Chain A
C-alpha cells in the first residue's frame, strides 16, 4: 500500500513537473512541451504558409481589395483608393513580417527589454537618451488627425491589426513562441518610432569627441588636418566640370604638442562616475552590436565594416545601349533575416501604380518604380547633429541652464522606466531637455544635442504625394518639400530620359559659418543653428553633360565649388565612388546587364592603391637587406593578387589584415598615455595622403626605442605581421589557400541573432571598398540589402533581388529562397501587372481577398 502510494506520488510529481516545465520552462530550459507541441508549438508554423486562396476582413476597409501573390511571393495589391491600398499593405506586411514589425518599432521606441529582456537595456537607454521616443510621441500629438499623414498611418495600423487580431495563438510567429510573448497592437506612433530608428541608423555619426581626443593627443593643427577637413580625393555626387577625380594628397602636418585645453575637456567628459552605468552617451559612437568590453581595434574594425552605405547611379539615354534611361540602386545595410525590405506592388487605377520595396512598419514604398520613373537612395551621411556644453544649476539634478546671462528652466524632464518582459522595472533614467534637444551627463559635463532626426516626421507625405509625379524632377521636388531626415542622395530616372539626383534632407547652417565638429558653448543662443540650406543649395544635378550620375556615400559636392559645410571626410567614403565612376566612364553603351554586373564588380581602387604601396615597400626593404621569409612570401602573394575581391581570390585576406596592422602601427600617436590602443583613428584616405611622404613623422612608431621608422619599414612590418598572423589563423597558404569566400563569407543573421535561424556562411564576390562591400564580421554582416536595375521603357523593365526571402517565418520555404540568387549576383525579373488579370495564372502563387 505504502509502496503504491509512494510510486503514485512519484509519478504525480513527474507528470506535474513535466507539465510545469513544459509550460513555463525553468532558467535556461525553455518550455519545451509548449514549443514542441504538434498542435500549438513551433511545428504549426510550417502550416498555412501563403495558402492558394484566402479571404480576410479589415473592418475599416472602404471597398474590396484584390491581392495576387506572384511566383516570387510578391503581393500585387489592387485597390480602388489609396487608403485601402495602405490598409492592404499593412495586412500583407503583417502576414509575412509580424514579429519584425514589433521588434523594429521597439528598437526606435527604446522598449526592446519588454520583448527580449535585460540584454537590450544598453540599446534602449541609448535610444531614450537620444530623445527618440519623445520626438515620436510629440510628432503624433501635434499631428492633425484629419490630415493625410495621420490617415495613412491609421490605415496602415488598421491593416496590421486586422491580421494580428485574426491570428490564432498557434500561428503566432516563431519568435513570439520562443520569447513567450504575444504580438502587441500596432499604433500609428510605432511608424514614427521606426522612422527615428532609420534616422539613428543612417544619420547618427558624432565625431566631436573623436576630434577633441585627437586635438588632445596631437595638437590642433594635425587634428584639424585629419578630421575637420574635406576628403583629399574628390569624385563628388554633384558632378564637377572635369573628366577625372581630383586628388590633393598634400603632406599632413606632423603630430604636434597636445592641445591642453582639449585634453582638460576630454578628461572632464570621460571622468568616471561611480556607480553609474554609462550606456547611450550622446557623444559616443555607440552601436548596440558591439560588446561593451570590445577592444578599440574591434571597434575600429566594426566602424569600417559597418557599411551603412549604398550605391546608386543612373545613365542618360545618350550613354545607354537602348537609348533609354537606366537606373540602379543597392542600399547597403545590415543583412538580417528577415530582410529589412519587403517587396510589394500597389495599384490604384488612375492614382497609384508603384512597386519596389517597403520597410515593414513604414507605410510606403521606399525604393522602387512607377510607370513614369524609378528611384533609389544612398545615405548622404551629412553632419546633422551638433552638441553644446551646458552650464546647469545643479550638476546632479539640473533644473535650469544658463542662456544669454539668465537661467532658463529646462524645457522638459522625462523619467524613463525600463521594464523586462514580465513588467518588472529594470532601471530608470531621467532625461532632460533644453531648447536644443536632449541633454545628457557626460563625465563631469552636461551636453545637449540638436539632431535633425528628432525634427523629422513628414517624410512619408513626400513619398505619397510624389507618386502622382510624372517626371523625375517633380518626384524629387515632392520629396524635398517634406523630407527632413535622414538625408539621402535621391536618384531618379524617368521614361522621358531625364536623370537627376539631389542630396535631400535638412542640412543645418551654423552661426558664423561654423563647422560642425566643435562642442559649442551652450550659454548663448549665438551658437545655435541659424537655419537650413535652401533646396536650391542642396547638392544636385539634372541631366549632366557627362551622361550619368553616381553616388556611393562620397562627399556630395566638391568644396572647391561650395564652401557651405556639409560634413568632413570621416562622414564619407570615396572608394566605391571612384570605382563606379571608372566603370561608367569606360562604357558609352551601358546595358541593364552591365548595370547588374557593376553591382557585384569585385574591383577596388582602394586595394589597387594600398596593395601597390605594400608591395613597393616590401620590395625596397628586401633590396635593403631584409631577409624575412614571411615578408618575401607576403610580398609575392600580394603582387600576384589581381586586386579583385572575387570569392576565389587568395590575396584579399592578406591585404585586409595588413591594412589593419598598418593602421594600428601608424596611428600610435593617438594612443593616450597609459593605454595600449589608440583612442581614435583617422580615415583611410588620410593614410593614402601619408603614402606620398615616405619620411613623415607619422610613420615613426614611438613605441619602439632607438629607431625611427619610415614608410617602408612600417608597411613591411605590417605586411610581415599580417602574414604570420594568418598562417596561425588559417594555416600555410601553400596547403590551404586563404580563399576569400571561405574566410570572409556573407551571413545574413536572424533578427534575434539566433544562429540556427541565420543563413549559412555564403561566399560572395566583394569586400571592403568594392561596390559590393559585404564583409563578414564577428559582430554583424553588412552589405547590399537590395539590388535593383530599371530600364525606363514605356513599361519599366525591372530586375531586382535581396538576400533572404519574403517570409519572416523561419519555418517557411520562402524564408531564405532568394539568398542563392543574391549571392550569385543575378537578378530576378519583376512583374508589373496593371490589373489582376495581367498576372498570368502560371505566375500566380496565391490570392487574397480583403473585405470589410
Chain B
C-alpha cells in the first residue's frame, strides 16, 4: 500500500457512518418499501438514498445486497401468495429463450444492479 492510498483509506473509514449490519437492515427496509410501492423506480430512488447514507466504501455492495434481498423477499412473498410461480417462470423464460430460474434470478439481480450502481455513484460523487 502506498502512503497516498493508505491515507485516503484512513480518511474513508473515518467518515461518520453507521455500522454495516445496522445500515444493511435500514437499507433492506427501505428497499422493500420502495420496491413495493414504486417498483423499479423505487429501487433506483432507494439506491440514491442508500448512497447518501453510506458515503463511504461499500455503498455499492451494501445497496446491491439490500436491493437483491428485498427483491428476493418480495418474490418469496409472491410465491407464497400465488400458486403458480415456477410454472409461470418457465413460460416467461420461454419468451426470452431462457430457463425459468434464469428469469427469476434476473428479477433479483436487476434491481440490485440498479440500486448498487446508483448508491455507489452517489457515494463516490459526494465523497469527491
Residues of A within 8 A of B (CB): 1, 4-5, 7-12, 14-16, 18-19, 22-23, 32-49, 178, 754-757, 810-813
Q: Chain A nearest CB: distance from B51 CB in Å?
A: 9
A7-B124, A38-B71 as given contacts; A811 in contact with B84, CB under 8 Å: yes
Q: What are 26 residue pairs bridging A and B, where the CB atoms are less than 8 Å apart in the complex?
A: A4-B127, A5-B125, A7-B124, A8-B120, A8-B122, A11-B60, A14-B117, A15-B44, A18-B110, A19-B40, A19-B114, A22-B40, A32-B110, A33-B110, A36-B92, A38-B78, A39-B36, A39-B42, A41-B39, A756-B92, A757-B91, A757-B95, A811-B82, A811-B91, A813-B84, A813-B87
Asked if B29 is at the interface of the complex by the 8 Å CB criterion, the answer is no
- Whether the Cβ atoms of B78 and A36 lie closer than 8 Å is no
CA distance A769 to B125 in the complex (A): 73
A40: which B residues are within 8 A, CB to CB? Answer: 39-40
- Whether the Cβ atoms of A813 and B110 lie closer than 8 Å is no
Chain A residue at smallest Cβ distance from B63: A15
A4-B127, A11-B60, A19-B41 as given contacts; A36 in contact with B110, CB under 8 Å: yes
User: With A22-B110, A36-B103 given, can you name 12 additional A-B contacts, CB distance below 8 Å?
Assistant: A4-B124, A10-B121, A12-B117, A12-B121, A32-B110, A35-B92, A36-B106, A38-B107, A39-B37, A46-B83, A47-B81, A756-B91
- Whether the Cβ atoms of B121 and A34 lie closer than 8 Å is no
- Whether the Cβ atoms of B74 and A38 lie closer than 8 Å is yes
Contact of A18 among B35, B41, B113 (CB under 8 A): B113
Chain A residue at smallest Cβ distance from B75: A38
- Whether the Cβ atoms of B40 and A38 lie closer than 8 Å is no
CA distance A785 to B71 in the complex (A): 41
- The 4 lowest CB-CB distance pairs between A and B, nearest first, are A756-B94, A46-B82, A8-B124, A15-B118
Chain A residue at smallest Cβ distance from B124: A8
CA distance A88 to B64 in the complex (A): 47
Asked if B10 is at the interface of the complex by the 8 Å CB criterion, the answer is no
B119: which A residues are within 8 A, CB to CB? Answer: 15
- Whether the Cβ atoms of B40 and A23 lie closer than 8 Å is yes
CA distance A797 to B91 in the complex (A): 37
- Whether the Cβ atoms of A12 and B118 lie closer than 8 Å is yes
CA distance A199 to B59 in the complex (A): 63
Q: Chain A nearest CB: distance from B96 CB in Å?
A: 8
Q: Chain A nearest CB: distance from B33 CB in Å?
A: 10
- Whether the Cβ atoms of B117 and A33 lie closer than 8 Å is no
A34-B40, A40-B39 as given contacts; A11 in contact with B84, CB under 8 Å: no
A811: which B residues are within 8 A, CB to CB? Answer: 82, 84, 88, 91
CA distance A35 to B81 in the complex (A): 19
CA distance A719 to B64 in the complex (A): 66
A39-B35, A44-B78 as given contacts; A11 in contact with B117, CB under 8 Å: yes
- Whether the Cβ atoms of B91 and A810 lie closer than 8 Å is yes
A1-B128, A22-B40, A43-B107 as given contacts; A15 in contact with B85, CB under 8 Å: no
Give B76-112 interface residues, CB cut-off 8 Å to A. 77-79, 81-85, 87-88, 91-95, 103, 106-107, 110-111
Chain B residue at smallest Cβ distance from A811: B88
B120: which A residues are within 8 A, CB to CB? Answer: 8, 11, 15
B123: which A residues are within 8 A, CB to CB? Answer: 8
- Whether the Cβ atoms of B95 and A754 lie closer than 8 Å is yes
CA distance A394 to B37 in the complex (A): 61
Contact of A813 among B37, B83, B111 (CB under 8 A): B83
CA distance A22 to B85 in the complex (A): 21
CA distance A78 to B58 in the complex (A): 61
A23: which B residues are within 8 A, CB to CB? Answer: 40-41
CA distance A1 to B118 in the complex (A): 19
Number of residues from B at the complex interface, CB < 8 A? 49
Q: Chain B nearest CB: distance from A15 CB in Å?
A: 3
Main secondary structure of the interface of A (DSSP, over half): helix
CA distance A812 to B88 in the complex (A): 8
Q: Which among A35, A49, A812 has the greatest number of chain B C-beta atoms within 10 A?
A: A35
- Whether the Cβ atoms of A39 and B114 lie closer than 8 Å is no
CA distance A40 to B83 in the complex (A): 17
B74: which A residues are within 8 A, CB to CB? Answer: 38-39
B107: which A residues are within 8 A, CB to CB? Answer: 36-38, 41, 43
A19: which B residues are within 8 A, CB to CB? Answer: 40-41, 44, 114, 118
Q: Chain B nearest CB: distance from A509 CB in Å?
A: 52
Q: Chain A nearest CB: distance from B85 CB in Å?
A: 5
- Whether the Cβ atoms of A34 and B44 lie closer than 8 Å is no
CA distance A754 to B41 in the complex (A): 28
Contact of B75 among A10, A12, A43, A48 (CB under 8 A): A43
CA distance A10 to B84 in the complex (A): 39
B106: which A residues are within 8 A, CB to CB? Answer: 32, 36
Chain B residue at smallest Cβ distance from A750: B91
CA distance A41 to B88 in the complex (A): 13
CA distance A9 to B93 in the complex (A): 33
CA distance A9 to B40 in the complex (A): 21
A5: which B residues are within 8 A, CB to CB? Answer: 124-125, 128
CA distance A178 to B96 in the complex (A): 12
Q: Chain A nearest CB: distance from B120 CB in Å?
A: 4
CA distance A811 to B92 in the complex (A): 9
CA distance A37 to B92 in the complex (A): 13
CA distance A669 to B118 in the complex (A): 71
Contact of B92 among A8, A9, A33, A42 (CB under 8 A): A42
Contact of B128 among A4, A34, A178 (CB under 8 A): A4
CA distance A9 to B126 in the complex (A): 11
Chain A residue at smallest Cβ distance from B115: A15
- Whether the Cβ atoms of B39 and A11 lie closer than 8 Å is no
A46: which B residues are within 8 A, CB to CB? Answer: 78-79, 82-85, 88
Chain A residue at smallest Cβ distance from B112: A18
- Whether the Cβ atoms of A15 and B82 lie closer than 8 Å is no
Q: Chain A nearest CB: distance from B19 CB in Å?
A: 23
- Whether the Cβ atoms of A48 and B124 lie closer than 8 Å is no
B78: which A residues are within 8 A, CB to CB? Answer: 38, 43-44, 46-47
CA distance A37 to B111 in the complex (A): 8
CA distance A302 to B29 in the complex (A): 57
- Whether the Cβ atoms of B114 and A18 lie closer than 8 Å is yes
Give B49-83 interface residues, CB cut-off 8 Å to A. 60, 71, 74-75, 77-79, 81-83
B128: which A residues are within 8 A, CB to CB? Answer: 1, 4-5, 8
Q: Which among B74, B91, B111 has the greatest number of chain A C-beta atoms within 10 A?
A: B91
CA distance A33 to B118 in the complex (A): 15
Q: Chain B nearest CB: distance from A751 CB in Å?
A: 14
Q: Which among B43, B110, B113, B118 has the greatest number of chain A C-beta atoms within 10 A?
A: B110
A36: which B residues are within 8 A, CB to CB? Answer: 92, 103, 106-107, 110
CA distance A15 to B74 in the complex (A): 21
Q: Chain B nearest CB: distance from A325 CB in Å?
A: 42
CA distance A591 to B107 in the complex (A): 54
B118: which A residues are within 8 A, CB to CB? Answer: 11-12, 15-16, 19
Q: Chain B nearest CB: distance from A49 CB in Å?
A: 7
B44: which A residues are within 8 A, CB to CB? Answer: 15, 19
CA distance A41 to B85 in the complex (A): 13
- Whether the Cβ atoms of A37 and B84 lie closer than 8 Å is no
B42: which A residues are within 8 A, CB to CB? Answer: 39
Give B1-40 interface residues, CB cut-off 8 Å to A. 35-37, 39-40
- Whether the Cβ atoms of B82 and A33 lie closer than 8 Å is no
Q: Chain A nearest CB: distance from B68 CB in Å?
A: 11
A757: which B residues are within 8 A, CB to CB? Answer: 91, 94-95
Q: Chain B nearest CB: distance from A12 CB in Å?
A: 4
CA distance A810 to B89 in the complex (A): 10
B60: which A residues are within 8 A, CB to CB? Answer: 11
- Whether the Cβ atoms of A38 and B35 lie closer than 8 Å is yes
Q: Chain A nearest CB: distance from B49 CB in Å?
A: 13
A4-B124, A46-B83 as given contacts; A18 in contact with B95, CB under 8 Å: no
- Whether the Cβ atoms of B82 and A49 lie closer than 8 Å is yes
Q: Chain A nearest CB: distance from B59 CB in Å?
A: 9
CA distance A11 to B113 in the complex (A): 10
Q: Chain B nearest CB: distance from A33 CB in Å?
A: 4
B39: which A residues are within 8 A, CB to CB? Answer: 33-34, 37, 39-41
Contact of A810 among B37, B88, B111 (CB under 8 A): B88
